[in-house]
Every structure is written in structure tokens, then in C-alpha cells.
């Protein structure tokens, strides 16, 4: 119930922050003096399989307000490369250049598209989970694994009521994948910087 109160379901007319950059899954070393790295995915099989085709983590500069999204999408239009997969989860690593400075995770959202219907869940009020990008360094945020929170419809049937990310340090696997995917990724210049999640945000991160 708490998650239902915190997450808002909107249709096609819902508003979300303007995307000013979408390079989360590609290396563009020349435009940034620091990097953010990690992995993002979803539970794709088993009893806890998430129905969401898209899951996003939104970050922004605390100084300029410039916003970016880190995405894992598997729909008919766009499929994020799958870099790792098990019987229950799948996902992709990301490594994105950013100017040095203070940043924050401020929004998450999940989407399901079925024909003309779009279900979109996101936090109605922005929150702030800070992290720092240092010149010449990579800040590794960890693995963000998308899950679904189930609820009941007015008819009593089981339905998605929102979502949350499980945050875990998968440094060894992710660094190996990043090294294979990006020739200029240097694990020696990467710092583990898993965000500290305050208790009041447990509806979004666990």
C-alpha cells in the first residue's frame, strides 16, 4: 500500500523529466572527464518475473540540473544489449562519461506497453541519492535489478502496483564485462561508490 501511495500510474499523457542525454550504454570518452558505471536489468523469469519492458534510473547534476537516464529496455522497438543472463535475471552494463561534480539519483520509472495502452510508474516527488564523479575516475554504483511490486485491481485480480530496484555490488562480474565491452575502460581507475539508500526510500531501492 505504501508503494501505491508513492508511485503514480499515468497514461500516454503523463509527464517525465526531459532527457538531455542518453549515452548510458555507450562509451564516449572524449566528452567527459569522469564516468559513472554499473549494471541494470530485470527479473525476467520465475514467480517474481517483472512484467515491465522498460526500467529507468534517472540521474542529474546537482549543479546544472542536466538529467540523464540509465535504461534497460526489452520491447518491440528498442532492445538494450543483454550483457549477462541467468535463469531468473538479465541485464546490461553501462559506462557513461560525465563532467566531474556532484550528482544524484532522483527518479525511477517502469513502463509496460501493450498495443495503445502504456502503464508508467514513477515516483511523483523527486528524491535525492547523491554520488560524486571525480576527474579521471569511474564511480561504480553497483547492480540495479528491476523487480515488480504486486497489488490488486478493483476486481481483486493480481496486477502490477509499482516497482523497485535491488541494489547489489557485482563489481567483479561488471568490471570483467566492462573491460570486454569498452577497450578504454580501466578497472584500476574505478571506485566502488554504491549509493547509501535512506530507509524512507525502501519502496524504490532495497
H-run or E-run covering 176:
helix 171-181
Taking residues 116-140, report their average pLDDT: 88
Give me the percent of the chain exceeding a pLDDT of 70: 81
* pLDDT attached to residue 159: 72
Specify whether the CB–CB gap between 175 and 190 falls below 8 A: yes
Q: Is the pLDDT of residue 123 over 80?
A: yes
Tell me the longest C-alpha to C-alpha distance in the chain.
55
* pLDDT attached to residue 12: 30
pLDDT band at 178 (very low <50, low <70, confident <90, very high): very high
Nearest to 39, CA basis, from 85, 75, 1: 85
**With helix as H, strand as E and coil as C, how does 67-84 read?**
EEEEEEEECCCCECCCCE
Average pLDDT over the chain reads: 81
pTM (predicted TM-score): 0.81
Amino acid at each position: 500500500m505504501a508503494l501505491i501511495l508513492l508511485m503514480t500510474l499515468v497514461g500516454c499523457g503523463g509527464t517525465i523529466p526531459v532527457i538531455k542525454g542518453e549515452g548510458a550504454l555507450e562509451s564516449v570518452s572524449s566528452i567527459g572527464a569522469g564516468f559513472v558505471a554499473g549494471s541494470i536489468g530485470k527479473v525476467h523469469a520465475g514467480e517474481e518475473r517483472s512484467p515491465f519492458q522498460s526500467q529507468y534510473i534517472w540521474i542529474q547534476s546537482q549543479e546544472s540540473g542536466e538529467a540523464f537516464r540509465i535504461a534497460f529496455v526489452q520491447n518491440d522497438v528498442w532492445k538494450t544489449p543483454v550483457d549477462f543472463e541467468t535463469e531468473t535475471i538479465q541485464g546490461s552494463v553501462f559506462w557513461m562519461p560525465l563532467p566531474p561534480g556532484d550528482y544524484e539519483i532522483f527518479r525511477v520509472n517502469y513502463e509496460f506497453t501493450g498495443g495503445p495502452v502504456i502503464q508508467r510508474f514513477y515516483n511523483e516527488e523527486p528524491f535525492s541519492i547523491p554520488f560524486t564523479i571525480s576527474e579521471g575516475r569511474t564511480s561504480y554504483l553497483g547492480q540495479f535489478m528491476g523487480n515488480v511490486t504486486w497489488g490488486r485491481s478493483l476486481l481483486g485480480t493480481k496486477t502490477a502496483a509499482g516497482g523497485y530496484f535491488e541494489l547489489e555490488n557485482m563489481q567483479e562480474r561488471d568490471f570483467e564485462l566492462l573491460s570486454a565491452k569498452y577497450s578504454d575502460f580501466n578497472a584500476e581507475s574505478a571506485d566502488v561508490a554504491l549509493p547509501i539508500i535512506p530507509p524512507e526510500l525502501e519502496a524504490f531501492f532495497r
